[in-house]
Amino acid sequence: MKTNSERHAPNALLNLLVFPGWGSVRSGRRAAGLGQIGLALAGTALVLAWFVKEMSQYYDMMFFSDSKPRAIGWIGELGGALFVISWLWAALTSLSLFREAAKPNPAPPVISPGANTQPLEAALERELAAVPAWQRQGQTISRTYEFADFAAAMQFVNAVAALAEAAQHHPDIDVRWNRVTLALTTHDAGGLTMKDVALARECDACATR
């Protein structure tokens, strides 16, 4: 998530140093930005028109001695005034953006324990019903598997280790000769998640191979 400074400061500089209104539009001030761009473009067009007319008069004087210059300076003056107005307007918007950039970033919303957990809890209960051999104790599910001997138990443990590595989700494993107990919880999430149920299913399938 971008900070206030990262979001607003570059757009303020675009207004001041590149073209009036561009940064305003990028920052979400669309109406102000389009107005600033419109004034800047109109001003630029008028200044260019003035320049072309002025130069054409000089060319006429060079080739036609009886040609007299006409006063058309107001076009350039109007164009310059429009561009200055657009820049000043953009500068005011930039000042507002700089103020926004200086504000501290809003703190993330605080979610009270248990808030909005009912749908997730109901979904977990439905998924856990599909693996009835696993017993739930608080935020952990566990199951004990029994095998013919120690070698078979260790073969299962090695298979579970491979599954856990592939999923990057590791159960607690307790081995008592031919009995293996697995316990699952998602520590990063602070409780049970669908990752635990998914790995429980894979372990069950592995035990029957």
Query: Does residue 24 contact residue 93 with C-beta atoms inside 8 Å?
Result: yes
Burial 98-129 (b: 16+ CB within 10 A, else e): bebbeeeeeeeeeeeeeeeeeeeeeebeebbe
* pLDDT value of residue 147: 95
- Over the stretch 90-141, which tens digit does the pLDDT of each residue have? 788 777 767 776 766 665 555 444 444 455 577 878 888 889 999 999 889 9
- Over the stretch 145-200, which tens digit does the pLDDT of each residue have? 999 999 999 999 999 999 999 888 899 999 999 999 999 998 888 888 889 999 99
- DSSP calls for 50-93: HHHHHHHHHHHHHH-TT------HHHHHHHHHHHHHHHHHHHHH
The encoded tokens of residue 20 equal 């009036």
Nearest by Cα to 42 from 15, 20, 67? 20
Say if residue 72's pLDDT is above 90. Answer: no
* pLDDT value of residue 115: 40
* pLDDT value of residue 106: 61
* Reported confidence tier of residue 3, pLDDT bands at 50, 70, 90: low
Burial (0-12, 13-18, 19+ Cβ within 10 Å), 162: exposed
On whether the pTM is more than 0.85, the answer is: no
Burial (0-12, 13-18, 19+ Cβ within 10 Å), 38: middle
* pLDDT value of residue 133: 93
* pLDDT value of residue 150: 95
Sheet containing strand 140-146, strands side by side: 135-137, 140-146, 179-184, 172-176
Top CATH class of 118-207 equals: alpha beta
- Cα(162)–Cα(205) distance, rounded to whole angstroms? 13
Name the residue ranges covered by the structural domains of the chain: 4-102, 118-207
- Cα(124)–Cα(122) distance, rounded to whole angstroms? 5
Say if residue 65's pLDDT is above 60. Answer: no
DSSP state of 28: T
